[in-house]
Chains A and B, each alone.
Chain A
């Protein structure tokens, strides 16, 4: 979140890049924390691969295969630049954040975590940054410890000193909560973790798409995110790791591409990043992600962040006007991203979502893959609206109108 100079977003022209918004009235798509829409330039780049140079990478001795290899590797460079990775080979392509975190848990975790070691998580983790560590703990006898949150939905930082000890080998934490929108003080957590010799995995699925994340500034050991939450296609994700760890780590999946030479009983493995990219990867999707990086960089991440903050402030204000609404998460917009979770008294979140759908408003209702957090908040589920660069004040107004309609419809005789 650099205080850079930038032009405000030209949302009107941005929206023209997304054919899904061409209907009248346009779809109010407010489920961006789950997955974002794909702009035309990203789809065009993937089409160009399929239409003009479709081939496998890293092996063909013919022109279009070389072209495919070049474009695939160019995408890696773009991602490396986006997060300021020191070396391009520190960017590993995976399927998504979940696969990236599983890769760390299986490869680094199995080699480095022993019985009695402690892995520190927070109660607001997405299941993708929880279940892989549960599995690792079950395999190794390690112990999971959890940082709690305040009633405001902020990380209980005072507890950190208690929980971090010389037993702590790893801290795995979301940069931004997918439910509450809370921006965690990840830099301070990384410093504190490193002070006790622990490594840090950052689940950046909700941060990299929305503001500038610099892995060297953070000094994180690993960082994971998904392409489909940042205008890219599904099926492509990223793992960043410090070079010394990635080089030492054993392979995750075995197969083609990840080997140097193969004997009957043993093999030696390829250099980074190929060591962690067994099999034919998602080539079109990687190329698409590269163009998604171009797209959000050209729009300007700082401008995207400011735009989302404006929408968030406005949404907070409008939603508070509705009687019987409970908002979860920090009340100060600067402590959170463009994610707003809430419930309406006496109406099940699914019903809220159902009525909103009939108004052309797409939001998420459910546990958001964060069941321990739902328990902490003492709710079964919540309704969640989340913003991105193409959302407008009108989208928020339509959300508000739909919520009023839901309230009228569902609580008519109880009033």
Chain B
């Protein structure tokens, strides 16, 4: 039952930074065509740092919990630092082994973030493929 451990369920049920920003500097939304999960991320950037972040959308436990964890992680970080976040960083945060399909759920938020902030549209981990 490790796939639905407490930590993930906590994020799913009480997500951090859930919602939208009134005048975001960056706002981007994408869905995962495999399952229809949809995530939007709004950012306010000041001095090249992420001052405020919100996410919204719908999805499964893994995609929403990963989004919640990601927003906690990037708040206050510089855009350059955030750009370096990789697939493995997300996997470390989520902390459970994931098959190829659920992996996309976990990576959706990072994909949305990178597409919105840097115009990188590939799935994290597949940038060079």
Determine whether the beta carbon of A354 is less than 8 Å from that of B3.
yes
Distance between Cα atoms of A202 and B38 in the complex (Å) = 34
Answer whether residue B73 sits at the interface, using C-beta atoms and an 8 A cutoff.
Answer: no
Answer whether residue B51 sits at the interface, using C-beta atoms and an 8 A cutoff.
Answer: no
Residues of B within 8 A of A (CB): 1, 3-4, 9, 13, 34-37, 58-62, 102, 105
A-B contact pairs, 20 of them (CB 8 A): A348-B59, A348-B60, A349-B60, A350-B37, A350-B102, A350-B105, A351-B4, A351-B60, A351-B62, A355-B3, A366-B34, A366-B36, A367-B35, A367-B36, A381-B36, A409-B1, A409-B4, A409-B9, A410-B9, A412-B9
Kindly list 4 other residue pairs between chains A and B, CB separation below 8 angstroms, not including A357-B3, A409-B9: A348-B60, A350-B61, A354-B62, A409-B1
Distance between Cα atoms of A409 and B13 in the complex (Å) = 12
* In the complex, the 7 A-B pairs of residues with the closest C-beta atoms, listed nearest first: A350-B60, A348-B60, A380-B36, A351-B61, A351-B60, A381-B36, A366-B35
Q: Number of A interface residues, CB 8 Å? A: 19
Answer whether residue A413 sits at the interface, using C-beta atoms and an 8 A cutoff.
Answer: yes
Residues of A within 8 A of B102 (CB): 350, 354
Residues of B within 8 A of A357 (CB): 3
Determine whether the beta carbon of A358 is less than 8 Å from that of B61.
no
Nearest CB of A to B17, in Å: 20
Nearest CB of A to B46, in Å: 35
Distance between Cα atoms of A349 and B105 in the complex (Å) = 13
Distance between Cα atoms of A366 and B105 in the complex (Å) = 12
Answer whether residue A414 sits at the interface, using C-beta atoms and an 8 A cutoff.
Answer: yes
Residues of A within 8 A of B61 (CB): 348, 350-351, 354, 410
Nearest CB of B to A225, in Å: 25
Nearest CB of B to A406, in Å: 9
Distance between Cα atoms of A409 and B105 in the complex (Å) = 19
| Also in contact, A381 and B35, with CB within 8 A (given A348-B61, A354-B4) | yes
Residues of A within 8 A of B36 (CB): 366-367, 374, 380-381
Distance between Cα atoms of A223 and B62 in the complex (Å) = 41
